[in-house]
């Protein structure tokens, strides 16, 4: 069994305390990928000290040259796409078709970031005084602490790291302890592409590592993706220490199917939205809101199709749904199934999956509840598993109200052939993202990603907005009048 290391100070090094954790395949826990570090605050301190040196070098590198490094990262990901997808599926379980998409998001993000190296726009504006120029420009901030989840082991780290690096920051990266191999390969690719070694630090471990990064006084900005509860704790620390912070947290996303919808199209959408990645997406379709006129027909269609989904190892041909990430996730989903059984009707699934090929993995049956009531726990709380709650409504107005009446606001979806209802949905659904005639999942790298309410704190991943988060504005004045001019004194 291979023992892997952190990347700190420009070298691959073991954790100071010498502790490690086995990384296992969630589809077959007998398959141990390797032993990865369980680091602590001492390792974080070493990483930050190195990142401070890396920042001084990297901030002076012209932004277009920083973009050239990320372009080479994209090229390397293209060349290694199948390899990285395979190791990612082995590590976190989702089928190869999905992990190939995960790698493609990293590729798209790399190429998009590369172009932004020539587009870190400021503004040049007229001064109120003669013979004087006024302008603003973007500059890097310092060390970015990046804390990422398990469900997109490559895509989400690239959403954070590539813009941070393009803007000239150094990075201290803490991946989820369930997906350390993908993170290691990403750092290897960054180094192969020519990133100066001290600009990137990789510190493996559990929550202790994330807390040490957030609390370190030399980490100037933090980007966190994870639970709302943990995000609140991160926010309290960053607020007290005056750090810049981006939070991407929970979701309780709804897909609305109205009477005039294309039901076959909507069926494909809800299967992908609810059970893709085994429901382990912050944008997963957790609620299905169906108008009364098509409710019974659509639920019957959904139950028939869901029953045909094939569970198994994501690297095996024909697998539709992979495992959950670990035993704790199985227990959590099972707990919510118990809650649902006391609140509404279990239509399909509702138990850990058994059978040939599933004996040693964390598999759970795709599960559908009907008769779910607004404000019930099953309808309100994020589950992060293959559990779909079906809610019946009388019209579009009620559907929009039910969609909005949760504490999260990440993604929403409406299936309708009425263009007026479609545009009403774009205006009225209280989420950061709304899809028309598409499921609640499917973000694209060149558009901002994020939500409202308890989903986040107002910042966005992706698109042009993320470059504003990872840089700060500086204003410059050049007075070539040769005399003292006093702005904001009465010159009129």
Which positions are annotated as active-site residues? Answer: 248, 282
Place of tokens 């990430």: 325
**Cβ count near 234 (within 10 Å):** 25
Q: How far apart are CA 254 and CA 392, in angstroms?
A: 12
Counting Cα atoms < 13 Å in the Cβ hemisphere of 50 gives 25
Q: How far apart are CA 37 and CA 135, in angstroms?
A: 47
Q: How far apart are CA 287 and CA 338, in angstroms?
A: 17
CA 372 and chain centroid, separation: 28
Q: How far apart are CA 28 and CA 142, in angstroms?
A: 41
């Amino acid at each position: 069994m291979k023992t892997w290391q952190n990347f700190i100070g420009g070298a691959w090094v073991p954790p100071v305390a010498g502790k490690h954790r086995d990384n296992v395949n969630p589809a077959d826990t007998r398959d141990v990928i390797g032993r990865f570090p369980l680091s602590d605050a001492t390792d974080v301190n070493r990483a930050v000290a190195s990142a401070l040196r890396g920042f001084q070098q990297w901030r002076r590198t012209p932004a277009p040259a920083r973009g050239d490094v990320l372009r080479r990262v994209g090229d390397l990901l293209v060349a290694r796409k199948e390899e990285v997808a395979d190791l990612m599926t082995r590590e976190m379980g989702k089928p190869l078709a999905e992990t190939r998409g995960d790698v493609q998001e990293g590729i798209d993000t790399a190429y998009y970031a590369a172009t932004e190296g020539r587009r870190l726009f400021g503004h040049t504006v007229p001064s109120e005084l003669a013979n004087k120029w006024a302008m603003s420009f973007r500059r890097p901030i310092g060390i970015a602490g990046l804390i990422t989840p398990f469900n997109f082991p490559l895509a989400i780290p690239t959403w954070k790291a590539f813009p941070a690096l393009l803007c000239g920051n150094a990075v201290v990266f803490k991946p989820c302890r369930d997906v350390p191999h993908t993170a290691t390969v990403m750092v290897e690719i960054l180094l192969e592409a020519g990133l100066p070694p001290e600009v990137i630090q990789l510190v493996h471990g559990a929550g202790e590592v994330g807390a040490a990064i957030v609390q370190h006084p030399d980490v100037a900005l933090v980007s966190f993706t994870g639970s709302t509860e943990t995000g609140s704790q991160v926010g309290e620390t960053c607020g007290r220490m005056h750090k810049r912070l981006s939070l991407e947290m929970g979701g309780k996303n709804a897909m609305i199917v109205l009477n005039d919808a294309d039901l076959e199209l909507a069926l494909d959408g809800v299967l992908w939205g609810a059970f893709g990645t085994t429901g382990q997406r912050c944008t997963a379709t957790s609620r299905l809101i169906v108008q009364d006129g098509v409710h019974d027909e659509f639920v019957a269609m959904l139950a028939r199709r869901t029953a045909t989904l094939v569970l198994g190892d994501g690297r095996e041909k024909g697998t539709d749904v992979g495992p959950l990430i670990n035993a704790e996730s199985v227990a959590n989903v099972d707990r919510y199934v118990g809650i649902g059984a006391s609140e509404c009707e279990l239509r399909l699934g509702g138990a850990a999956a058994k059978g040939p090929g599933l004996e040693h993995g964390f598999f759970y049956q795709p599960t559908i509840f009907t008769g779910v009531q607004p404000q019930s726990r099953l309808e309100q709380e994020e589950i992060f598993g293959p559990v779909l709650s079906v809610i019946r409504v009388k019209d579009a107005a009620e559907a929009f109200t039910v969609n909005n009446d949760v504490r999260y606001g990440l993604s929403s979806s409406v299936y309708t052939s009425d263009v007026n209802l479609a545009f009403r949905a774009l205006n009225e659904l209280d989420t950061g993202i709304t899809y028309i005639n598409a499921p609640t999942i499917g973000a694209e790298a060149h558009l901002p990603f994020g939500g409202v309410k308890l989903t986040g704190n107002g910042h966005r991943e992706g698109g042009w907005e993320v470059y504003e988060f990872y840089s700060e504005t500086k204003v410059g004045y050049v007075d070539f009048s040769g005399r003292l001019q006093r702005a904001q004194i009465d010159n009129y």
